Amino acid sequence: MVVYLLAVCAIIFVIAVLISMKKSGHFFKCLFFSALQGTASLLAVSASDIFTGVSVHINWLSLLSGIIFGIPGIIFHILASVIIK
């Protein structure tokens, strides 16, 4: 039951982000820069694992989160990995 609730919340957040990008008038520009920043931050966090000890594994979920939500999506993955450890 909790998984379905989290899935519904994630879908609502994705729709909200896409609507805000659409209303800005620069949808593809916002989407491109968000994807670029999210991917770059995911790679930076993965590369800094040697120094910090905090790692975010690159998989389809973290990559998709970085592409859609950008840097806040990667920050969420970092906080989740710190809390879970």
Question: Residue ranges of the domains in the chain?
Answer: 2-84
At 2 the pLDDT is 66
At 31 the pLDDT is 80
Give dist(CA 42, CA 58) in Å, integer. Answer: 8
Q: Is the predicted pLDDT of residue 74 greater than 70, yes or no?
A: yes
> 0.85 cut: is pTM over it?
no
Per the structure block, which two tokens stand in for 74? Answer: 């990667």
Rg (CA), the chain: 14
At 61 the pLDDT is 86
Single-letter amino acid code for the residue at 47 = A
Per the structure block, which two tokens stand in for 43? Answer: 């790679």
Give dist(CA 80, CA 54) in Å, integer. Answer: 10
Per-residue pLDDT of 3-50, as tens digits, reads 677 778 778 888 887 787 778 788 788 788 888 998 999 889 888 888
